[in-house]
Homo-oligomer: A and B are copies of this chain.
Amino acid sequence: MKEIMNILGKQARASAATLRMADTNAKNNALLLAAKRFRQDMADILSASAKDMKAADENNLEAALKDRLALNEARVEAMAEGLEQIAALPDPVGAISDLVYRPSGIQVGHMRVPLGVIGIIYESRPNVTADAAGLCLKSGNACILRGGSEAIHSNRAIAKCLREAINEAGLDENVVQLIDSTDRALVGALITADAYVDVIIPRGGPSLIKRISAEAKVPVIKHLDGICHVYIDKAADRDMAIRIALNAKTHRYGVCNAMETLLVHQEAMDCLPEIINQLLDKGVEVRGCTKTQALNVQVVAATDEDWATEYLAPVLSIRVVDDMMQAISHIEKYSSAHTETIVTADYDAGQRFLRNVDSSSVMWNASTRFADGFEYGLGAEIGISTDRLHVRGPVGLEGLTNQKWIVLGHGEIRS
C-alpha cells in the first residue's frame, strides 16, 4: 500500500508544482475539453455505470444508495455543465491584495496560492469525481481521488475523460489521479501520507468523516452534522417568522442546512400554532418542550437527545425560551456550528445574535436553506466546513487556496 501511495504522492507533488504556475486559459481549456469528452464518451461512461449497477444489484445495495450511484444521460450532462461553470469562474490563483508601503520602503502584500495536493475521499456518487477534480484543477491543486468501491467503473471512466482532457490542454495529467483499487488500506495510506498530501477532504456521512479525522496525519477539512436552528425573537414579524421556519424545515428534509430545532421567544409563541398546524399538514412529526406540547395534542415530548440530533427527516423539535440569551445558550450547547438564523425586526437583537453565535453561517431574517456555495456566489462548492481553522462554511475555489506574503523592494536591507 505504502509503495502505491508513494508513487501517487510523488506524481501528485511533481504535477502540483507545474499546475501552480499554469495560466488560467490552460486550466479552463482542460475543463472545457473534459466537458466535451463526457458528452462524446457518453456511451462508455453509461456502460461503465451499468457494470456498477449490476454489481450493486448482486450485492443487494439499498435503493437510496443505488439512486446516488446511478448515472444516466442527464447526470453526465450535468457533470459536463458543472465543469463549464467552473471554467467560467474567476481564477483565484495569483491574485494580489493589500499591497502597501511600509516605513522601511518595502511594499508588502498577499498573493493567493494553491494549497498543493488535496486528497478527496467520497462515497457512491460518481459525479464527485468530476466536481472535485474540476474545483481542485481550477484552484491550482493536484488531487488524489478515492471514490467508493461500488462506483469504481464509473469513476474510472470519468477520470479517464478528465486526464485525457488535461493532457490535451498541455497540462500534466497527474494533477488528477484516481486510486484505481478498492483496497480499503489505501484510504489509510492516503490520510497518513503527510509528505505528499496537504489536506484531506472527506465527503460522506458522519461516521466516515469521524473515522478519517481520528486516523489522519494530514489536516482534514471536515463537514460534520448540520444541526441548524431558527430562533424567532419576540420582535419578529410573525408572517416572516412562519415563512422562514416552514421553509427551513420543509423545503428539503435530507439536507445539512435544513432546520432541526426551532427556538421561540416566549412572547412570540403566538405564531407557533400556525407553524405547528402547517408542519403537521405536511406530515412533519413535531416534538417539543412542555410549553410547545400544551399548544397541540399531536406534539410529543422532545428529549435531550432530540436537541442533539440531525434528523435529516420530516421531524422537528421546538423549544420555547425565556429570552434571546437562553436561545444562544441552547445553540452554544447543541449546535454543530453549521448554520443558525434569527428572525427579528429589532436591530439590537439581530446585531447581538450575528456577533455572538459561533457558527459557520449566522443569518438574520433569512432561511437556513441559503447556506450553500451557489447561493453565496461561490459558483460551486466542494463541501461545507464545520471546522474552526482555515475555512468555515461553504468551501469554493478560494477555500482551496491560501495566501503567501509577497515583498516588493528596491534594494532595502534591515538595519
Contact = CB atoms under 8 A, between A and B. Distances in A.
Interface of A: 17, 20-21, 94, 100, 102, 104, 106, 108, 111, 113, 115-116, 198-199, 219, 237, 239-240, 243-244, 247-248, 251, 332, 341, 354-356, 358-367, 369-371, 375-377, 388-394, 402-414
19 contacts: A17-B332, A102-B376, A115-B388, A198-B389, A199-B389, A244-B411, A341-B409, A354-B406, A360-B404, A361-B405, A363-B407, A365-B410, A366-B409, A366-B411, A366-B413, A370-B412, A370-B414, A391-B402, A393-B405
A100 B378 CA distance: 12
Nearest to A214: B217
B414 A355 contact: no
Contacts of A411: 237, 239-240, 243-244, 365-366
A21 B240 CA distance: 28
Contacts of A20: 356, 358
B364 A414 contact: no
A414 B369 contact: yes
A183 B301 CA distance: 48
A139 B100 CA distance: 23
B404 A367 contact: no
A133 B320 CA distance: 39
B366 A407 contact: yes
A402 B390 contact: yes
Contact of A113 (B243, B341, B358): B358
Nearest to A257: B414
A407 B364 contact: yes
A414 B367 contact: yes
A376 B414 CA distance: 13
Contacts of A100: 377
A108 B377 contact: yes
Task: Select the residue from A104, A244, A404, A408 with max chain B CB neighbours within 10 A.
Answer: A404
Given A356-B21, A388-B116, A405-B362, A106 B414 contact: no
A366 B408 contact: yes
A104 B377 CA distance: 11
Contact of A367 (B354, B393, B413): B413
Contact of A106 (B219, B370, B389, B391): B370
A362 B407 contact: yes
B363 A409 contact: yes
Contacts of A94: 355
What are the nearest 3 A-B pairs in CB distance?
A366-B409, A247-B413, A369-B414
A393 B403 CA distance: 9
A191 to B, nearest CB: 14
A405 B399 CA distance: 13
A355 B375 CA distance: 32
Task: Select the residue from A360, A375, A377, A412 with max chain B CB neighbours within 10 A.
Answer: A412
Nearest to A408: B364
A360 B405 contact: yes
Contacts of A393: 404-405
A90 to B, nearest CB: 14
A177 to B, nearest CB: 19
Contacts of A102: 375-377
Given A198-B389, A366-B411, 14 more contacts: A20-B356, A21-B355, A102-B375, A240-B411, A251-B413, A360-B404, A361-B404, A361-B407, A362-B407, A370-B412, A392-B403, A393-B404, A393-B405, A394-B405
A354 B403 CA distance: 13
